[in-house]
Structure 1
Amino acid sequence: MDYTHRRILLTVLLFISSGAKWAEGARVFTLVNDCMTTIWPAITPGENFNGGGLALRRGQSVVFNAPVGWSGRIWGRTGCNFDQAGNGSCQTGACGTTLKCGAAGKPPATLAEFTLASMDFYDVSLVDGFNLPMTVTPVNGKGGNCSSAGCNSDLRNNCPSELAVKADGKTVACRSACDVFDTDQYCCRGVYGNPVTCQPTFYSKKFKQACPTAYSYAYDDPTSIFTCIEGDYIITFCAPGRKQTVCTYHDNRLICSGSSRSALLICKWFVLMLLCMVSLWSWV
């Protein structure tokens, strides 16, 4: 069992042992940091997500529970420095000067967008630019498309110089053409404010080529928006181009993406053993 697999299981165990319960019909969100450094995920609205913001160290994961009817966005912040009161700043994705976000993040930022209903809608958007690779992997879905969405490529490596955001001599984010040039054509507004006249541009095509399952411009719907019925969602930051097993826990079952039956049995055995250990500890 690899390190990623074990740390997801340990996160699940901590969530269970804390006494938290999954509400019927709710969706389980697992956030995984596979970046080389600490990131600061942000969520709005964030009442079900630690108030809208947290620090996630390299290799760490965390589990949240969102009710049906929740509609919001998740993104990662980088280069942050917060004090004990949760006040500070970030190089990218900042939502003002607070750790817990009550407002949208400052572009450029890679966004995961969700609307939870009888059929969930979700996507990963680069319309406001890019700051981190991010993928959304549904598991346990009972219908719909339930395909992975997002961007495994790191667009910072090949960001056009006119779009690049730099800090300490490094490109830390890639702005959108709309943000840089502020024209109707790039922003899909005015006479370009409909899917007929708003067409892919040189810059959006570069984004789409690198990230074919992410929104590259405002009307990039056919290949960028996905649906799933009663699925849970694993949001992974970074890990470009690497296949991995990711797991979440729902309705007393451990669900892993890309797992064989034998691997699932090993996972279930592992969780049962950990739960038994917790039970024994409670008697001590």
Structure 2
Amino acid sequence: MAHPYTAFLKLTFIFIVIASAPELGGSKQTFTFVNYCKETIWPGITHNDNFTSGSFILKPCQSQAFTAPSGWNGRIWARTGCNFDKNGSGKCQTGGCGTGMNCSAPASPPSTLAEFTLGEIDYYDVSLVDGFNLPIAVQAVNGTGNCSSAGCDGDLRQNCPSQLAMKDNGKVIACRSACDVFKTDEYCCTGQHGDPGTCLPSNYSKSFKSVCPVAYSYAYDDPTSVKTCSGADFVVTFCGSRNQTLPTSHDNQRPCNASKAYKAIPQSWWVLMLPLAFMFNSWIAS
């Protein structure tokens, strides 16, 4: 019979292995938001079938995690210039989603939207179809497949056509879409222009595409915009770059150090630990 202390060591080791391993089966996926902007933002997160969601504040250089259930599909964006009272009522300059801190409606244009459809294959993109308010980049971590980065890391506010500019006190705070401004079938890809053959890039969407080459610039801009991956977690950065190194808590050289580190653990980690557990078990038994 093994000594009680020996049995305790064995149970402790097995507990550490199980507790330290990531969740198996890929049923949930983690989104980590990082704010590289110089301003505070209020990220919006809504399911495509239900606009009710929680909310949180993300100050410059802060990060926050969100766990999405299996099969989640929805949109993520930044609200800017928000002012909420103690009851959570108020409004935002851009990206508003109702009259409260918690979203009760889709994002109001102009808003840069990160869109996700999770499943056996995950589809994701960043869309400027509803205009632009802040740069957004999406990076897939530890997935399989193409898994390339999506997003618009250029700042369209600096290049916004005058007809589309949304201003506050003379400052451009967002760039509207041509559809939102002119409301024609040609720009909105509706009516006689409601299919890929008749809805073509406009001069406005081309100007968006020149700054953000891998983001949706109009409704049928699929080939260069939609990315795919399987089993990945995602890092969504506001005012960041599609190609930048992900932040870590020890990376003091970065211009904006996230308050919470994002360091993904490979899904195969727990598999490597199982043989060690069996070896330890045999050692204890001897």
Same fold by TM-score greater than 0.5 = yes
Q: Is the 8 A contact 1:153 1:241 kept in 2?
A: no
Alignment correspondent of 2:44: 42
- Give the Cα separation in 2 of the matches to 1:86 and 1:249: 33
Alignment correspondent of 1:188: 189
- Give the Cα separation in 1 of the matches to 2:34 and 2:267: 21
Q: Write out per-residue CA displacement over residues 22-45 of structure 1, whole angstroms, 9 at most, x where no aligned residue.
A: 574211100000000100000003
**TM-score w.r.t. structure 2 length?**
0.76
Residues 1:249 and 2:264 are matched in the alignment: yes
Shift in alpha-carbon separation, 1:128–1:63, aligned structure 2, 3 A: same
Provide the secondary structure at the position in 2 that maps to 1:156.
Answer: helix
Letter in 2 for 1:237: F
Unmatched runs of 5 consecutive residues or more in structure 2: 1-21, 248-261, 270-286
Alignment correspondent of 1:127: 129
| Bigger Rg over Cα | 2
Alignment correspondent of 1:167: 168
Alignment correspondent of 1:210: 211
Provide the secondary structure at the position in 1 that maps to 2:173.
Answer: strand
Alignment correspondent of 2:56: 54
- Give the Cα separation in 1 of the matches to 2:30 and 2:79: 22
Aligned pair partner of 1:112 in 103, 111, 114:
114
Provide the secondary structure at the position in 1 that maps to 2:129.
Answer: coil
- Give the Cα separation in 1 of the matches to 2:31 and 2:188: 31
Provide the secondary structure at the position in 2 that maps to 1:162.
Answer: helix
Q: Write out per-residue CA displacement over residues 209-256 of structure 1, whole angstroms, 9 at most, x where no aligned residue.
A: 1001100000000000011000010000003587333434356899xx
Alignment correspondent of 1:153: 154
Provide the secondary structure at the position in 2 that maps to 1:147.
Answer: coil
Q: Write out per-residue CA displacement over residues 132-179 of structure 1, whole angstroms, 9 at most, x where no aligned residue.
A: 000000010122x20100001000011111100001221000000000
- Give the Cα separation in 2 of the matches to 1:156 and 1:242: 21
Shift in alpha-carbon separation, 1:183–1:92, aligned structure 2, 3 A: same
- Give the Cα separation in 1 of the matches to 2:54 and 2:263: 21
Provide the aligned length of Structure 1 versus Structure 2: 232
**TM-score w.r.t. structure 1 length?**
0.77
Q: Write out per-residue CA displacement over residues 105-138 of structure 1, whole angstroms, 9 at most, x where no aligned residue.
A: 1100000000110100100000000000000000
Provide the secondary structure at the position in 2 that maps to 1:136.
Answer: strand
Alignment correspondent of 1:234: 235
- Give the Cα separation in 2 of the matches to 1:80 and 1:31: 18
Letter in 2 for 1:74: I
Letter in 2 for 1:190: G
Alignment correspondent of 1:273: none
Q: Is the 8 A contact 1:154 1:240 kept in 2?
A: no
Q: Is the 8 A contact 1:136 1:235 kept in 2?
A: yes
Unmatched runs of 5 consecutive residues or more in structure 1: 1-20, 255-284
- Give the Cα separation in 2 of the matches to 1:170 and 1:197: 36
Letter in 2 for 1:173: A
Provide the secondary structure at the position in 1 that maps to 2:162.
Answer: coil
- Give the Cα separation in 2 of the matches to 1:77 and 1:166: 16
Shift in alpha-carbon separation, 1:170–1:62, aligned structure 2, 3 A: same
The percent of aligned pairs where both chains have the same amino acid is: 58
- Which shifted more, 103-112 or 79-88? 79-88
